[in-house]
């Protein structure tokens, strides 16, 4: 895989992915899969994605004052997601999951469109202790199959009504948890080609550059702008999933 074309593709992909992630707190996996799935294959693309995803999300999870508060609030959500990924990858190992990916893309696109023109869904309130492990577990299964945690995982986090910086930190904490779980599950099923490891390490470099630039941009926009850009990113991710489910 160490060709000039591959290195150029990885550099551009993760520079853009880092920019988007730094600005909005998410977006790296959809961008990585959108750029690399066709030329390199879905499983190789997911394998390369793991290196930058783990590193950048550790950074994102620690770059804020609310880590302890978020861990106390989201521990059942994260634990359930970790377990759910284990079962999701079991399903991925024997199926393509294209139909589910398309259905999720449609749901996410519709939700994002509605959210852009109307108030966000209400927080779970007193039901949070019950709904957190449910949303985390289902999101973990879906992530293990499709590489996408947005439905229902990210949507549930968005419904908690966290402010911009807490939301970004919560996304980092969540994504580092599910990325580690995915890496363990992929290794167990031997789904990642052996030569992907070094490419994944190289991909960390352009991702970090993009992340730093994107973070500077995030601090220059208002809460309202952040919410608008957040849902636009989700809409694009949903449309991408629809296209990928149809064309592979």
DSSP letters, 29-79, are HHHHHHHHHHHH-HHHHHHHHHHHHHHHHHHHHHSSS-HHHHHHHHHHHHH
Task: Return all residues near 214 (Cβ < 8 A) that are at least 6 apart.
Answer: 18, 19, 20, 21, 22, 23, 24
Are the C-beta atoms of residues 180 and 58 closer than 8 Å to each other?
no
**Cα angle: 138, vertex 146, 42; to 5 degrees:** 160
pLDDT value, residue 248 = 61
Which of 201, 160, 193 is CA-nearest to residue 66?
Answer: 160
Q: Which structural domain range is residue 128 located in?
A: 4-247
Q: What is the token pair recorded at 245?
A: 């489910």
Residues 6+ apart with CB under 8 A from 75: none
Provide, rounded to the nearest whole percent, the portion of the chain with pLDDT above 70: 91
Tell me the three state secondary structure of residue 142. helix
pLDDT, tens digit, 9 for 90 and up, residues 33-68 = 777 876 887 677 878 888 898 888 888 888 878 999
Residue 115: the pLDDT is: 72
Res 100: pLDDT: 64
Q: How sure is the predictor about 116, in pLDDT bands with cuts at 50, 70 and 90?
A: confident
Buried b / exposed e over 162-188, threshold 16 CB at 10 Å, is bebbbbbbbbbbbbbbbbbbbbebbee
Residue 11's pLDDT band (cuts 50, 70, 90): very high
Instruction: Evaluate if residue 120 carries a pLDDT over 90.
Output: no
Q: What is the pLDDT of residue 12?
A: 94
pLDDT of residue 77: 97
SS3 119: coil
- Number of domains observed in the structure of the chain: 1
Confidence of residue 163 (pLDDT cuts 50, 70, 90): confident
Residue 202 confidence class, pLDDT cut points 50, 70, 90: very high
Whose CA is closest to 47, among 150, 189, 200?
200
Q: Are 136 and 78 a contacting pair, CB within 8 Å?
A: yes
Q: How many other CB atoms sit within 10 Å of the CB of residue 119?
A: 7
Mean pLDDT of 196-212: 90
Q: What is the mean pLDDT of the chain?
A: 83
For residue 119, pLDDT over 70 is answered with no
């Amino acid at each position: 895989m160490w060709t000039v074309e591959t290195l150029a593709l990885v550099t551009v992909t993760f520079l853009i992915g880092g920019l988007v992630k730094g600005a909005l707190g998410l977006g790296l996996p959809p961008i990585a899969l959108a750029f690399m799935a066709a030329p390199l294959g879905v499983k190789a693309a997911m394998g390369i994605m793991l290196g930058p995803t783990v590193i950048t999300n550790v950074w994102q999870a620690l770059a804020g004052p609310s880590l302890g508060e978020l861990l106390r609030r989201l521990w059942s959500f994260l634990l359930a997601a970790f377990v759910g990924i284990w079962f999701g990858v079991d399903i991925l190992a024997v199926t393509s999951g294209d139909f589910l990916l398309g259905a999720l893309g449609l749901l996410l696109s519709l939700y994002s469109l509605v959210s852009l023109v109307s108030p966000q869904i209400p927080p779970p309130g007193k039901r949070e202790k019950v709904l957190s492990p449910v949303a985390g577990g289902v999101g973990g299964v879906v992530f293990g199959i499709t590489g996408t945690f947005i439905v229902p995982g990210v949507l549930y986090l968005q419904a908690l009504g966290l402010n911009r910086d807490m939301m970004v930190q919560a996304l980092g904490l969540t994504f580092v948890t599910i990325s580690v779980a995915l890496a363990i599950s992929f290794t167990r099923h031997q789904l990642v080609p052996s030569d992907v490891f070094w490419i994944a390490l190289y991909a960390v470099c352009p991702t970090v550059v993009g992340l730093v630039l994107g973070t500077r941009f995030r601090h220059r926009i208002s809460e309202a702008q952040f919410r608008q850009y957040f849902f636009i990113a989700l809409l694009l991710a949903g449309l991408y999933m629809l296209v990928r489910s149809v064309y592979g």
